[in-house]
Amino acid sequence: MEIIQPETAGFFRQSLQNTMKHCLTVSVAILCLSAFLGIRMAAQEYSAPQVVVSSEKVRYDGKVYYSHVVQERQTLYSICKAYHVTLQEIYDANKTLNLETEGLKKDQILLIPIAKGNEPETEVKETQEKEQKEDSDFFIHRVKWFEDLNSIAKKYGIPKEAIMGINGMTSEKVRRKDEIKIPIHPEKWITLNSEKLALEGSEGETTDSKADSTAMGDSQSEGIFDKLFSKDKQISMTLLLPFNTSKKADVQMMDFYSGVLLATKDLGADGRKIELNVYDAANSAMPVTEERFAESDFVIGPVSNSDIARAVNASKGKTWIVSPLDPRAESIADTIPNVIQAPAPTRAQISDMAKWIRTDLRDSDKLIVITQKGAAVSGYSANVMNELRNFGLNHSDISFNLLEGRQVMDRIARTMTEMGTNRVVIASDSKAFVIEVIRLLYLISSQKKDIVLYCTSKLRTYDEIDVEQLHALRLHASVSYYVDYDSPQVQDFLMKYRALFGTEPSRTAFQGYDLMKFFSSITNEYGKRWDRASSLKGDGMQSEFNLVRTARGGFVNEAVRRIVYNPDYSVTLKR
């Protein structure tokens, strides 16, 4: 096994990049998750703990380790013995797990130092598609992890109904490693399957009618039973993102997918049964059938407004489409039912910023709003002015253009108060103008003016701004995303992510994890009628959630995080 370098972005994602062409279906349940990270020992009778030396290696902090997943009844002693290392070496390699005080936990991921002279030989196995002739009527195909029934039928140039007929299938769902028959004479099986379905339909008419009446009689209690027994039900999630695997895979989308995979593993460890279906929607492709949409509790993706609208049309309103990354997609959720805007939109950030100012503003303080003279009024600047007005915030206005430069610096300084804090808002989304205003405010702050600058996420995307200036102005930002790396939950996530993928998680990896956990959790809690719940709130590692229904029937996440840039160069998460 090759040592995994950080730049490879993990063995699993690299495999996906090289293999997935059109559609990937991954069915994940408790047993599948156990198989992914190691097979459980039989629980019927006690046997001595067995430790199998892992074949997976990761590079962490400049050193190479085995990545070992703790199984049932394994002990630190048995692990040390199997890997020929000391107890202290395992303690030192896994300091964040506090093994000396808290001990081992099932499914923990340990970093095991590689003892000299103990590198086991790795057997190289080639995975080949099993296609052997069984008799004159069919041959066997073993389903690969990126295949579904449509792609298999297309591969052999036969109708999918023929494959369903010869295998006695009642649905199109296939799973990885299933062995299915491929008919040599497909036309025969299409006819037989049609006759069988017709016969079953006539025989099952009375039973179906009875089932319908029972369902109608129980409709009032359906919500209660959904909530009580939802943990025993499988949650179906679909990921529809532009991976672009036919060319150079999109790194951000692969990071998002990695976060989703880790969330799926954690949900499985909590006893949730998750079915995850993954599709490549690059180049505005729509590889998902109406039936698959209908079977999904949530579809996460696509990303762009046009692709989201296309997915809504293809699903015919039979599932919920989650806009996962772009705050600008709020307009879709405002106008189209069955769309959920996951990132808090700019409007929600501006509203929170105004609310924050109203809370902080004291009698001795002064609120100053700076706008760009002569510039067309943008949606951003109009929204800022409207929200300040809605919260009843009186303010002093300063307007200038870039050509005035340093000439306006004295005017800004004279407008400020000496008695309290000058709370400043820049009502512009012009990058050049915002950068210039921050430079001027930074210079004025050196004149012993007490200044606090308020903003939304947009300002933090301008890399040209010197972060020292933001700390000097004690920036107060209302943002969609922020990761507190001191959080124990984040620390645990980092450890697992590094061990599994051999790299650091990006912002999109955190977002993938948060969205998968949140939407699976509300399905588990409320069942199919989750949208009738009175409160849809949750906490993620990077995002907060507070889903609010729009006039057209969609949902928008209005939860915002508040962060403060302190003069000591630290950043504090306020909420």
Vertex 558: Cα angle to 556 and 562 (nearest 5): 150
| Per-residue model confidence as pLDDT tens digits over 96-122 | 888 877 778 877 888 899 876 555 443
CA distance 453 to 356: 12
CA distance 232 to 30: 12
Q: Is the peptide bond before 302 cis (omega within 30 degrees of 0)?
A: yes
The DSSP secondary-structure symbol of 328 reads G
Q: Report the sign of the C-alpha dihedral through residues 283, 314, 327, 400, in that order.
A: positive
Class of domain 226-343+488-557 (CATH, top level): alpha beta
| Per-residue model confidence as pLDDT tens digits over 275-302 | 999 999 888 888 888 888 999 999 999 9
Asked, colleague to colleague, whether 226-343+488-557 and 347-479 share their fold, the answer is yes
CA distance 137 to 133: 9
CATH number of 138-204, picked from 2.60.40.10, 2.60.120.1440, 3.30.1330.10, 3.10.350.10: 3.10.350.10
pLDDT at 158: 84
The tally of CA atoms less than 13 A away on the side-chain side of residue 152 is 30
* Block mean pLDDT (10 aa), the chain, length 575: 38 46 38 36 42 77 81 83 89 84 80 70 37 58 78 80 86 82 80 52 40 35 39 81 87 95 92 90 86 92 89 90 84 83 92 96 96 84 94 95 81 94 95 94 92 94 92 96 92 93 93 96 90 91 93 90 95 88
What is the domain partition of the chain in residue ranges? Answer: 138-204, 226-343+488-557, 347-479
CA distance 471 to 475: 6
For the chain, the straight-line distance linking the first and the last C-alpha, in angstroms and rounded, comes to 44
3-state helix, strand, coil in the chain (%, to 5): 45, 20, 35
Q: Hey, what CATH topology would domain 347-479 get?
A: Rossmann fold (3.40.50)
β strands within 264-309, DSSP E: 273-280, 298-300
Asked if residues 458 and 427 have their Cβ atoms less than 8 Å apart, the reply is no
pLDDT at 129: 39
pLDDT at 266: 93
pLDDT at 184: 80
Tokens of 7: 């730049």
Asked if residues 343 and 480 have their Cβ atoms less than 8 Å apart, the reply is yes
57 beta partners: 66
Amino acid, single-letter form, for residue 74: Q
